[in-house]
């Protein structure tokens, strides 16, 4: 009988989905990891026009259209001051596929991947699917990842470490000094740094910096996507940037698992990346207002919350039974433990929802806190 592979048996469906399944139909959902804004009109229109012109019926090149890769290259020059050749880009089915390519192309069976704990659920699962061994590491008090903890975790068996800033599930933003250190660690140890920058535009104080700006070797690859920046999660369009030799290896995986990213999505992404950037700023400003309402409310309730400086998540420390008490009362939040052992005792609250709903949810959280406290 054909049995399942040990790699696939070592992962399970994300705990986030289980929380959604447990909630009632009218619940306020503060569990979702996607912006609640429409995709910018000019991006939608570009896809519609390309479809109507019959330009999206066939495969594109494996790496994606030249127009999209040029738009990605210009985006990196504009936003990150990084010189990226269109040859060094693969357009992918979201940031998720980009992470998968980076892992598959660089991790050998038994090799270790270091990543933040709590951290985005894919880092652990994709490491296992690549046959690697997850090495989750503890975060600082403010929920950022300390470069020295990364360096201490590196062994001869380390294939890669993941940096995620702004971070899911914590909302933490790494400083420029940290990013320089991550670049140095990648250079000095000759270990790949996978920098997941999908929330790069949602930063409330200071700005986003990439380890790729500071690396002297080609030991940094950047994963990014239109998903969060342009509210395009449903379009499934991301990309990975790396040196040509790394891109060539990742392309081998991409070619066989995906062939090319969806053509209509590539047209939409080209327009999103090269068109007006106001929608990005408007979303960021809206998220900042919501964050402030949420943080004030959590402070009033008496829940200690490290100040999230980016993305659209907050992670208060919560008493035992709090997540269940919220869900029972119709507010969906995700237990921190769904993001790793280091998340135990916390909850992830997504504020990608209207201020009215956040205020309503805060009343429920207050009640839940008193019920379990």
| Interface with ligand PLP (CB under 6 A) | 33, 94-96, 120, 164, 168, 196, 198, 225, 227, 233, 238
Residue 76's H or E segment, with its range, is helix 66-80
Q: How far is the CB of 357 from ligand PLP (least distance, A)?
A: 20
- State how far Cα 286 lies from the chain centre: 19
Task: Compute the chain's Rg from CA coordinates.
Answer: 20
**What is the smallest separation between the CB atom of 308 and ligand PLP, expressed in angstroms?**
13
Q: How far is the CB of 212 from ligand PLP (least distance, A)?
A: 16
The nearer residue to ligand PLP, 193 or 198, going by C-beta atoms, is 198
């420029």: which residue's tokens? 176
Place of tokens 């570009």: 46
Q: Which is nearer to ligand PLP, 73 or 168 (CB)?
A: 168
Q: How far is the CB of 184 from ligand PLP (least distance, A)?
A: 23
Q: How far is the CB of 290 from ligand PLP (least distance, A)?
A: 17
Nearer to ligand PLP, 192 or 364 (CB): 192
- In whole angstroms, give the CA distance from residue 74 to residue 93: 20
Give the integer Cα–Cα distance in Å for 117 and 138: 6
On whether the CB atoms of residues 166 and 311 are closer than 8 A, the answer is yes
Q: What tokens does 123 get?
A: 């880092």
Distance CA 364, CA 303 (A): 14
CB of 121 to ligand PLP, least distance (A): 8
Instruction: Give CA–CA dist 136/177, Å, rounded.
Output: 22
Give 209's contacts (C-beta < 8 A, 6+ positions apart): 174, 176, 179
**Cβ closer to ligand PLP: 94 or 316?**
94
225 versus 263: smaller Cβ distance to ligand PLP: 225
Residue whose CB is less far from ligand PLP, 226 or 327: 226
């Amino acid at each position: 009988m054909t049995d399942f592979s040990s790699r696939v048996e070592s992962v399970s469906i994300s705990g986030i989905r289980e929380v959604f399944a447990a909630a009632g139909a009218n619940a306020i959902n503060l569990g979702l990891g996607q912006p609640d804004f429409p995709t910018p009109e000019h991006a939608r229109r570009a896809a519609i026009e390309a479809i109507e012109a019959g330009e999206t019926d066939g495969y594109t090149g494996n790496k994606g259209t030249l127009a999209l890769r040029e738009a990605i290259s210009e985006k990196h020059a504009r936003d990150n001051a990084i010189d990226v050749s269109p040859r060094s880009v693969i357009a992918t089915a979201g940031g998720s596929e980009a992470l998968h390519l980076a892992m598959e192309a660089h991790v050998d069976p038994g090799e270790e991947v270091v990543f933040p704990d709590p951290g985005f659920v894919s880092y652990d699962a994709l490491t296992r699917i690549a046959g690697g061994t997850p090495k989750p590491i503890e975060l600082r008090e403010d929920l950022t990842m300390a470069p020295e903890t990364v360096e201490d975790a590196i062994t001869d068996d380390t294939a890669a470490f993941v940096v995620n800033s702004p971070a899911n599930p914590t909302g933490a933003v790494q400083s420029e000094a940290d990013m320089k250190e991550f670049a140095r660690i990648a250079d000095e140890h000759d270990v790949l740094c996978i920098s997941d920058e999908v929330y790069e535009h949602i930063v409330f104080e200071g700005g986003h910096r990439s380890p790729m700006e500071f690396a002297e070797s080609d030991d940094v690859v950047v994963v990014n996507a239109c998903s969060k920046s342009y509210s395009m999660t449903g379009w499934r369009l991301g990309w990975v940037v790396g040196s040509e030799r790394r891109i060539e290896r990742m392309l081998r995986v991409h070619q066989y698992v995906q062939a090319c990213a969806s053509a209509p999505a590539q047209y939409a992404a080209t327009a999103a990346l090269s068109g007006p950037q106001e929608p990005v700023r408007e979303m960021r400003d809206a998220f900042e207002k919501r964050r402030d309402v949420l943080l004030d409310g959590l402070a009033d309730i008496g829940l200690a919350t490290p100040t999230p400086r980016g993305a659209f998540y907050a992670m208060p420390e919560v008493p035992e039974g709090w997540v269940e008490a919220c869900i029972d009362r119709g507010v969906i939040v995700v237990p921190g433990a769904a993001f790793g052992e280091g998340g135990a005792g916390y909850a992830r609250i997504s504020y990608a929802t209207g201020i009215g709903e956040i205020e309503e949810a805060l009343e429920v959280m207050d009640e839940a806190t008193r019920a379990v406290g």
